[in-house]
Structure formats: structure tokens, C-alpha cells
A and B are shown apart, each in its own frame.
Chain A
Amino acid sequence: MSGQLLEWNLGTLAPRSAGRITIVVQTNVPAGATLDFSTVISTRTVGDDPADNRDGLQTLVVQPPTAIPALNGDLRLAVRSELDPNSRDSNPRNGVYVSGGTAITWPTGEVLDLTPRIADLDLGSALPWPYEYRVNVVGWSIERVIVNGQPRAPYDPDSRNRAGCRSGRTSDGTAKLLQGCVYGYVQGASREQIENGYVPSEAELRDQAHFYWTQPPAPPMRNDVYLYTVSPLRAVQLRVQVEIAVQIVNAYPGAPIDDPSLPPIPIVPLPDPEHRLLSQQFDINLLVPRSVIGPGQ
């Protein structure tokens, strides 16, 4: 090492060979400083194109974050029907569909299995090293059902006079903000799980929420279904909430002592994560029952 210049004699690099060097550094400059780093590679063999022989980057030194920023994201619905032929084949995943927006079309007389999916979770700009967001979904809820233009809580008596929240997958018990009937979110334990576009399996939809709309009278139905009669046949709405816990952690607390095994340390807020809600109203455009539609229609 010569001052701030590091040099490696790499000898001969074979065609299509590659390597990586990690340089660990430490600094204690105050916020506002800018650190400039540069690197250059050269060879004595003629014919080298120098266009990609240099690189550099700047690192800004900033104050540690002190608050969780606004959280944004869109919700979609993953839906399934047991009457769908894809739900009856040997493939356990091809019978679940994720809505492209906030409206779906559904036949009356058919149980709708549904669960929300978070799309485009946005926590603002990335945090400075070594901080990261630790995020998990604590649960989701059906906040409100709007049938025949009338909003009602999901635990209010439905059209067969059955009240209370229907059974289903339970949340982790830490929800603080959810309203209505609460369920467990599928694959929401980490930011990676939330953002990886996971589509639940048909089996995972079985213990989520179930809805059934039909024209009067209300037919007999299993107990875990919210059943509503609609007259006349028109769109209904569901308002869904997803509760997310967010905390800023030091993701690399072992870096100063070169110990990568140390677990992340919560930084902000303390002692518990901050909870945020994502809410979305979905339009369910109802159609006549599937059995009434003739072949080719």
C-alpha cells in the first residue's frame, strides 16, 4: 500500500477470466462529506479497448435516519374458484389469478376465494449503509363490504343472517390498525417475500376469505363464506386493508469487528416497529352464474 493507492499485480488474465476483490475501509467523517473512490486496470498486451478500464463512485456521508418515511404500495387480489377447471387438475398453482388492477369480474353463484397481494411496495429512497428496512406483513382484513350500495362491516349479519368474522388463517396477533375481519397474509415475513411477486397456491387460498353473491333467495352455504344477495345484479365493493410493520435496522452490526454473524440491530423506532396500513377498495363486477352461460359465450 502506498498512501491511499492500492495496487495489485494480477499477472496474466486468461481469456474470459474474472475475479473480485473486496476492500474494507473505515471512516469517521461528519455528515455532508463526499468520498470519491476510483479504480483503473491496465495490461501491456496491445489491442485492449480502454473504454471499460476505469470506474469510480461517490459515497455521501449522511445523518442516520430518525423516522420511518411514508409507505406506499398498491394492492391486488389473488382469486380462485373451485369451479375453475384449473383448480381441479393436478397443478396446484394454475387456478389462482392475480388481478391486474382494482376491479375483477366474477360470476354469481360461485364461491370466490381471495387474498390481497402487495404490488410495488415503496419505502422511498434507499437507506444509507449499513441501515436497511425490516418489513413484514402482520395481517390483512376485510374492512368493509358494499352490497346493493350499502356499506356494512363484514362481521354484520350477511344475507342468511350469519354474523361474525368467518374462520380462516389467523394473523400473527400483532396487528394494531386493521379494521373488520382479520386474516393472515400469505408470504409476508420479510421485504424479500413481499416484493418477489409470489402468487399463492390453490391450497393457500382455502383458508383465506370466501365470498358468495347471488340473487335472492340466499341458498344454504358452508359457514366460512360471506354470503350476500344482490338485487338487481350490479357491482359490489370490498375494502381491504393490509397492515405492515416497519423498522430501520443496522443490517451489518458486525462489520467493524469483521463478524458477519451478528444479527441486525433495530434502530428506529424503538422498541417496537411502526405499523402502517395499505388500503384499497375493489370493484367486483358480478355476472350471471357460470352455468347459465352457454358454450362459446
Chain B
Amino acid sequence: MINVGTGYRLDQLQVTARISTSTPERSQDLGDNNASASIDVLRPNVYVDATGPSRIVAQGSVFWYVLDYGNLYRSRPALTRAAEQVILRATLPDEVRYAGADRAPGR
């Protein structure tokens, strides 16, 4: 079992192993005494982008915010890992009234 720290930034782990013995081996038999392997590191990357109008007119405007979210390890998409228990929160300005959303919030 290997635990990778949350701060690990590389996309692969390199593992090397070497075996030796005090009993003499023939030189031509030493070639299989070393082995290495690389392991891809999978990671989640949840993201959210918000878009909305930069200016609205002051006359009882109805407008909308759009939240684009997802899970994508951008530099190596194939190494994206599923993200569990994802929570998305939006904080509305005090001056607006929530009118609805195309996906109802849980609270």
C-alpha cells in the first residue's frame, strides 16, 4: 500500500527495485536484478465558472447567472479521477431575489 500525499504534483510515480545476493552470480545473469515501473497518478479536478451580465439596467431587471462545472484534470484529461461527494454552492447578492433554476438546489 502506497499513500501519495495530497501535495504530490507529478503525474507518475516511478518505482525501482533491486535484488542482490552474497552468492556470486555470473555477470551475464545480473541483467534481471533491477526492475522499474511507472504508475499513473489519477486525480480529480472539480471546477466552476460563473458567467452573468456585467451591467444591467435599473428597472426591475430579471437576469440569470450561468454556472459551468465539471471534473477535468486539465493538463492530462485521461488521468482524471472520479470526484465524489461534490458540492456546488452559489451565494447570491443580497439585493436580488432568487426566481428559479433549471436544476433545483437542495437548499
Contact = CB atoms under 8 A, between A and B. Distances in A.
Interface of A: 1-2, 4-33, 35-49, 52-64, 126-131, 255-256, 258
A131 B85 CA distance: 40
Nearest to A61: B58
Contact of B91 (A5, A12, A26, A62): A5
- Find the residue from A21, A126, A129 having the highest chain B CB count within 10 A: A21
Interface of B: 4, 6, 8, 41-73, 77, 80-103, 105-107
Given A19-B69, A56-B50, A37 B90 contact: yes
Nearest to B105: A6
Contacts of B6: 46-47
Contacts, number: 283
A59 B53 contact: yes
Nearest to A25: B96
Secondary structure class of chain A's binding surface, majority of residues:
strand
Contacts of A21: 66-67, 69, 88, 101-103
Contact of A25 (B57, B65, B87): B65
Nearest to B6: A46
11 contacts: A8-B89, A23-B92, A24-B100, A25-B65, A38-B91, A39-B89, A41-B87, A41-B88, A48-B46, A126-B55, A256-B60
A37 B72 CA distance: 24
A200 B46 CA distance: 46
Task: Give the 10 A-B residue pairs with the shortest CB-CB distance, closest first.
Answer: A18-B70, A129-B53, A47-B43, A128-B55, A15-B80, A13-B71, A35-B93, A31-B58, A43-B83, A52-B47
Contacts of B59: 28, 64
B65 A45 contact: no
A44 B85 contact: yes
A42 B67 CA distance: 14
B48 A62 contact: no
